[in-house]
Structure 1
Amino acid sequence: MGTAGLDQEIGYNPILSATVKNEQGVRDVGTLSEYSLQGSVKDEFIDDVKNRLRGLCDNVECEPFIDHEITYSLQSSSGNAVTMRVSRSLAQSKMPWQLKYVGALEAGNKSCLMRNQVTVGCSENVTSFLTELGFRADTEFLSKGYLYRKGRIKIVLSKLCKMKEPGQHQEQNLLPLTKSHMVEISVTTIAGTEDPGPELRHFAEMLKPQIKLTKTDHREIQSHRPNF
């Protein structure tokens, strides 16, 4: 969508308009595209999966993480939404907050989920900034787990938790959303340069039968999800 089209849908906003123009400039020189497959594993089998990943992945220690994430959206008059994700590391408090623009799912018969994305570092004021632009906070959760690597493939094993009170991420304030861990493998490339789908599919095959990774349709999930 061009800047003019976005202005017509959500109303002219000079800051957001400049952001979109800047993103279009990035797209001209090479937008980043994220290809991924996703799945889950029940909590009681998580140790088996960790052992499997240690054997398959690079010979380096996995990276533990605890991230606080909030998803924002800005609804347009046509029904489409601009989605932004704000996250911060609770394990490394000196790290900057991250603001991630997530594009729409790409149509077609690709073997993996694919969408364009732009991520930038920012200050803690980003939540107030998005609110002033008209964005609405949709979901807030805490993600904790481990990051593994196999060459350029990232493997994220995470447990998602809801907070009883917004912004309160102490252990006693956390409620697991499911009795499973989420598993995601992904590769990020410059848009249009290659299709890492076969590479991801090959790695996914090596995780069977413990984990079945698939191309997940988030739109169908979101249409049936409860608010939290």
Structure 2
Amino acid sequence: MSAANAAPITATDSLSQALKANIIPNQEYLLQGSVLDSAVEVLLHRLRGLCDNVDAGPETFNDQEVCFSLRDPNQQAAPLMLRVRKALDVRDMPYQLRYIGQPDLGDKNRPTVVRSSLDIACNGMLLEFLNELGCRIEFEYSVKGYMFRKGRMKITVAKVFKISQSSMTPEPISQSYLVELSVLAPQGQDAIAEDMRAFADQLRPLVHLDKIDYKRLGHMSVT
């Protein structure tokens, strides 16, 4: 077949090929920890020395996140949870719609939490669209902090604030910062978890990054 007679490759074709090749980053590898307010500057200094773009310094962010749920009318399935994040410090940034699946608890020896994750950039009509779908707001909060990069790894150090309707000033929920080490990768990239563990070890004893025991948290919520 000549090039003139060949069918054009569409965006749908490219997406289908990517799905078949398992190259879409739909898995999140995650480690989490916390550091007290009094020790956060020491941790930031340590990260500046370990991460990329040392001269430029870390990126800063100030975001608001709203968690929505879409419930099964027949109550036969667990609610679908969707998260919408908006930058408060950059006006023209698109909304980010994110789906996070349940963590894979099959391999106890895996160094990190692994869960499905899909991110989509959306315009300002997103909130109205979710309301029309029947989604309802479960909770919302704001986060302000710093983001570092080390190769494919993303490290965030963020203060989490409670949004109160009665107060115009967000209130911090604790006297510590949430620290997250994450990588988005296609399925079958489990070797990255070992790299994350090695990097997390370099941050001790300033912060202990580990995978969350979701089974234990579920048991605690029941009791």
Deviations 1:28-59 (A, max 9, x none): 44342110100000111111111111111112
Q: Does the residue aligned with 1:40 lie in a helix, a strand or coil?
A: strand
Aligned to 2:63: 67
Q: 1:36 to 1:89 in 2, by over 3 A?
A: same
Q: Does the residue aligned with 1:46 lie in a helix, a strand or coil?
A: helix
Aligned to 1:95: 93
Query: 1:81 Cα deviation (Å)?
Result: 2.2
Q: 1:138 to 1:214 in 2, by over 3 A?
A: same
2:178 to 174, 177, 182: 182
In the alignment, is residue 106 of structure 1 matched against residue 100 of structure 2? Answer: no
Q: Which has the larger radius of gyration?
A: 2
Query: 1:121 Cα deviation (Å)?
Result: 0.8
Stretch moving more, 109-118 or 74-83: 74-83
CA distance in 2, matches of 1:89, 1:222: 31
CA distance in 2, matches of 1:25, 1:79: 31
Q: Does the Cα contact within 8 Å between 1:158 and 1:182 map onto a contact in 2?
A: yes
Q: Does the residue aligned with 1:103 lie in a helix, a strand or coil?
A: strand
Once the two structures are aligned, what percentage of the paired residues are identical?
33
CA distance in 2, matches of 1:178, 1:25: 46
Query: 1:78 Cα deviation (Å)?
Result: 3.0
Aligned residue pair count: 199
Residue identity in the other structure for 1:199: D
Q: Does the residue aligned with 1:173 lie in a helix, a strand or coil?
A: coil
Report 1:22-33 matches (<5 A): 27-30=19-22, 31=24, 32-33=26-27
Query: 1:220 Cα deviation (Å)?
Result: 5.1
Q: Does the residue aligned with 2:183 lie in a helix, a strand or coil?
A: strand
Report 1:1-228 matches (<5 A): 27-30=19-22, 31=24, 32-58=26-52, 59=54, 60-76=56-72, 77-109=75-107, 110-165=110-165, 172-218=168-214, 221=217
Q: Does the residue aligned with 1:128 lie in a helix, a strand or coil?
A: helix
Query: 1:197 Cα deviation (Å)?
Result: 1.0
Structure 1, gaps ≥5 residues long = 1-22
Q: Does the Cα contact within 8 Å between 1:63 and 1:148 map onto a contact in 2?
A: yes
Q: 1:51 to 1:116 in 2, by over 3 A?
A: same
Stretch moving more, 185-194 or 40-49: 185-194
Decide which structure has greater helix share: 1
CA distance in 2, matches of 1:125, 1:196: 36
TM-score scaled by structure 1?
0.79
Residue identity in the other structure for 2:133: L
Q: Does the Cα contact within 8 Å between 1:113 and 1:216 map onto a contact in 2?
A: yes
CA distance in 1, matches of 2:119, 2:218: 22
Residue identity in the other structure for 2:147: L
Q: Does the Cα contact within 8 Å between 1:165 and 1:173 map onto a contact in 2?
A: no
Structure 2, gaps ≥5 residues long = 1-14
Aligned to 1:10: none
Q: Does the Cα contact within 8 Å between 1:161 and 1:177 map onto a contact in 2?
A: yes
Residue identity in the other structure for 2:130: L
RMSD, matched Cα: 2.4
